[in-house]
Amino acid sequence: MKMTFRWYGASDPVSLEYIRQIPGMDGIVSAVYDIPVGEVWPVENIQKLKQTIESHGLKFEVIESVPVHEDIKLGKPSRDRLIANYAQTLRNLAQCGLKVVCYNFMPVFDWTRTTLSMPLPDGSNTLAFSVAEVAQIDPDQGISLPGWDSSYTPAELKALLAEYAPIDEETLWAHLSYFLHGIIPTASEVGIKMAMHPDDPPRPIFGLPRIIKNRADLQRLLAIIDTPANGLTLCSGSLGADCNNDIVELVREFAGRGRIHFAHLRNVKVNAAGDFHETSHKSSDGSLDMGQIVRAYFEAGFEGYVRPDHGRMIWGETGKPGYGLYDRALGAVYLNGLWEGIEKAKQEQAQ
């Protein structure tokens, strides 16, 4: 298990100097943020980012993310040029030593929360999602949710939602298949492992189709092109927001098949209505048994990349909600501790 940490580049208030001090930290997960979506990432931009990270004694082998342009998801004629650009970006990443690319195929937005700072009893704040609050929103009157407003103007968002109106799940699956057939051969050729991130949350929202929600969807995704280059980012928090998803069993199945290339580990507290909020990584704080999830990875022989996913904002820290230093650092140490404990227990049993 290779422990990594998400870093948003020079604008990130969390410094690489601090990240390197987290015990057991192996590498950084980041991306090139100054190139428009759909355009090729130049080698020099990737190399500059790589050199910055490696100068702090950290590895840089995982990209999160190379965004998929909406025209590809919509199946527009421009998708062939955009897919060719995506393939060239993969070649450039491989040239720079990158090994895994996390991405998603969620229409319009890659995550949804109704609050960025839900207060918890211990005084910390966290990301949360309310089914009732989302149900009260009329997309025709505009959508105002945390994290959405800065992506599109109201007019742009309304126009984009209108373009998606005729796109159902099967159509989106067809567009995903077209995309994968366009980029997986290149990924295989250059040694890049593509790692699809599930929908967050794993359910349709505002009439937008969602197609990576559960075990059946993960199986269907991998079957489109059955090759190691077509793999998963298994996010426990995203899939865990649906109580019907057994994360431990998903890890056993897909890590056992060698198809999980990147693991996002976070805990969520979920109720029967589908409301959830993010908690510390500790098993007793959320609805997921992180100890059993880590054990499943260990017993599957997982040797891939993991990162502590979203954390609470604790100890007065400010900045990008969910991406503070302190709680994610605690999460990394907790996860490494679980792994070490399982490893030592296995060694003692073998003696």
List the catalytic residues. Answer: 197, 235, 264, 309-310, 323
Tokens of 54: 């490696």
Q: Are strands 125-129 and 193-196 parallel, antiparallel or unpaired?
A: unpaired
User: 3-state DSSP call for residue 177?
Assistant: helix
Token code pair at residue 274: 């589908």
d(CA 116, CA 125): 8
- Residue 306, C-beta contacts closer than 8 angstroms, at least 6 positions apart: 1, 2, 3, 4, 262, 263, 264, 265, 297, 335
- 226 to each of 60, 80, 152, 182, 185, how far by Cα in Å? 27, 22, 36, 14, 11
Q: Which amino acid is at 206?
A: F
Q: Rounded CA gap, 257 and 221, in Å? A: 14
- AA letter at 111: W
The answer to whether residues 61 and 94 touch, using CB atoms and an 8 Å cutoff, is no
Q: Which residues have CB under 8 Å from 187's CB, separation 6+?
A: 90, 101, 193, 194, 229, 230
Helical segments of 8-130, H only: 16-19, 43-54, 70-74, 79-95
Q: Which of 279, 209, 208 is nearest to 241 (CA)?
A: 279
